[in-house]
Amino acid sequence: MIWTREEYLAHMTFEASPREMFCELFGPLVGLDAEWRAQGASEDEISLRAFGWDSVKYAWAPADTGARTGIAPRVLEETATHVYSIDKMGRKMQMCKQSASLPLPMSYPVTGPEDWESIRRWYDFAPERIDLEQLKRLKALQKEGTLVVASMPGGFDEPRGLMGEENLCYAFYDEPEMIHDMLGHMADTCLKVFERVLDFVTIDVLSVHEDMAGKTGPLAGSKQVREFIAPYYRKVWEPLKAQGCRLFSQDSDGNMNSVIDDFLDAGVNCMYPAEPMAGMDILALRKKYGKRLAFKGGLDKFALRGSVEDVRRELEAKMQGELLGGGTVFALDHRIPNGVPIENYRAYVRMGRELLGLPPAQPADHVRMAF
């Protein structure tokens, strides 16, 4: 089913729901296509088209709120196993061809306040951040039912991209003025960009990428979230909410339990992908937070590596009770991992649809729902 803007927003804000929503948020990991092909999967199955995943008609607002560096990415060296490159932020990157889907930084542009001052202009506002012609087209699309999503730099993720995790965690204590200035400047630019976007369309979803936690907890604790990240969120979110934005969606892998309350207080009302192996239990969290917090994901991807009965147990444990009736997009908690047999994935789709009362899958193009 292709959901309209209003259907999706009503579902995710617990107002009304035409039915349950069952999606594939991200898609397969590198190499899974070869595994499935060797097991006899069809090309429609490999592309996920065969599984008829739900999606919503959405478009990203043509508005750039991130770093505008002027640095042209380039490849430095390619070996049999790795690609080494310079990215748009001037970082040297390493990418493993065989197993990785994301490159790893080997250097960073900011080591202290002087470096930040030298690149602060990367986040200055400029009219070129907005594509007015695309906005005009988007205005017509929104009237026809397209959801409009806008992104802001992460309050942890963006400084991490500039400094690295370890240096950022030290900077919360050693250079708090620099972090406040970073996030304050980014927020000011976001507001100027979104002010112009709002002349054309309503921003329906504000999306922020953080990925700030591991299996045992977040890299920034409640104190750092309240002092640095929450004020930044509020500064951007509250004006958008006043102009009709209904979802503030945060993407963060790992165990976010200890900082959920802080992010709710900052305006977040949707979180994904809610990894069970990291301690994120969406049924327990729904019982705790009720209609204050919607979820996308929450189904253990690693259960699909086991038996069909393992898959059934995972689905039956989650597709029930308070998670039904709105506020949940049922989906795996990240990419489909290598080692998942195609038979298990077929069973996952079939049993999930049965438990949710959905009709058998009809082929439909897979739409990435990570926003």
Tell me, what amino acid is at 267?
Answer: G
Provide the pLDDT for residue 270. Answer: 98
Q: In what order do the strands lie in the sheet with 82-86?
A: 74-78, 82-86, 92-96, 104-105
Provide the pLDDT for residue 100. Answer: 64
- Say if residues 94 and 106 touch (Cβ distance below 8 Å): yes
pLDDT tens-place string over residues 36-89: 999 999 999 999 999 999 999 999 999 999 999 999 999 999 999 999 999 999
To which H or E segment does residue 117 belong? Answer: helix 113-119
Residues 349 and 223 placed together within one structural domain of the fold: yes
Average of per-residue pLDDT values in the chain = 97
pLDDT at 90 over 90: yes
Residues 63 and 76 placed together within one structural domain of the fold: no
Provide the pLDDT for residue 98. Answer: 76
Rg for the chain, CA atoms, rounded = 21
Overall domain count for the chain: 2
Cα–Cα distance list, 177 to 187, 223, 366 (Å):
15, 16, 44
Residues 57 and 98 placed together within one structural domain of the fold: no
pLDDT tens-place string over residues 114-131: 999 999 999 999 999 999
pLDDT at 229 over 70: yes
Q: Give the whole-angstrom CA distance, residue 253 versus residue 280.
A: 10
Task: Indicate whether 178 belongs to any domain.
Answer: yes
Length of the chain, in residues: 371
- The tokens for 127 are 């009219």
Residues 82 and 137 placed together within one structural domain of the fold: no
Task: Indicate whether 365 belongs to any domain.
Answer: no
Task: Indicate whether 268 belongs to any domain.
Answer: yes
- Say if residues 365 and 50 touch (Cβ distance below 8 Å): no
Q: Which domain holds residue 290?
A: 2-68+126-355
Q: Give the whole-angstrom CA distance, residue 237 versus residue 208.
A: 11
Tell me, what amino acid is at 311?
Answer: V
Provide the pLDDT for residue 102. Answer: 80
Task: Indicate whether 369 belongs to any domain.
Answer: no
Residues 331 and 183 placed together within one structural domain of the fold: yes
Q: How confident is the model at residue 170 (pLDDT cuts 50, 70, 90)?
A: very high
Residues 223 and 161 placed together within one structural domain of the fold: yes
Task: Indicate whether 361 belongs to any domain.
Answer: no
**Domain at 168, CATH number:** 3.20.20.210
Residues 98 and 208 placed together within one structural domain of the fold: no
pLDDT at 101 over 80: no
Residues 208 and 75 placed together within one structural domain of the fold: no
pLDDT at 190 over 70: yes
Q: Give the whole-angstrom CA distance, residue 144 versus residue 121.
A: 38
Task: Indicate whether 104 belongs to any domain.
Answer: yes
Q: Give the whole-angstrom CA distance, residue 157 versus residue 165.
A: 9
Q: How confident is the model at residue 366 (pLDDT cuts 50, 70, 90)?
A: very high
